[in-house]
Amino acid sequence: MPIRQATAADIPRILALLQQRREVYQHYAPTFWRIADRAVEKHDSFIRRLVHDDDVLTVVHEERDHIDGVLIATTMDAPPVYDPGGKVCMIDDYVVESPALWREVGMRLLEHCRDWAMTQGCVLQIIVCAQKDVPKSAMLKGMGAEAASEWYVRAI
């Protein structure tokens, strides 16, 4: 199966894919998505911790020894003022190597995560997607996801 649990050996490739996404997102909203100095270095320790955390799903999609997608998910209780009927699965770091891969690799990763989330007692996936990330949002909508929130930013 091309989806597997990430290992420490995968961290450099995971970081490269996440940095690639940051570079694209920075153009969508330059202030909000501005890449921090030493972002990859700072992200390394965080990703390293997640890869070794049994309560976090950190998976990669790999074809012919090449990682072309990654998804990281955690479970949590919904905010106390909302009741979706159970825990939620939060997916923040979720990226594929190129936009054309969302329809296959992205879908496979999300379905794998859905299966995992169900075993964790989750009833809902929350998936972060930039407003201008059209290929990713099209794939999400095609899988039955709906936009639940938008964030707006304004300089102070």
16-50 per-position pLDDT tens digit? 999 999 999 999 988 888 899 999 999 999 999 99
Residue that is written with structure tokens 């450099």 in the block: 12
In a domain, 156, yes or no: no
In a domain, 128, yes or no: yes
| Total domains in the fold of the chain | 1
pLDDT of 106-131, one tens digit each?
A: 999 999 999 999 999 999 999 999 98
In a domain, 150, yes or no: no
In a domain, 148, yes or no: no
In a domain, 57, yes or no: yes
CATH number at residue 59: 3.40.630.30
- Taking a C-beta distance cutoff of 8 angstroms, is the pair 46, 14 a contact? no
Q: Average per-residue pLDDT in the chain?
A: 94
**Domain extent for 118:** 3-142
C-alpha span between 83 and 91 (Å, rounded): 19
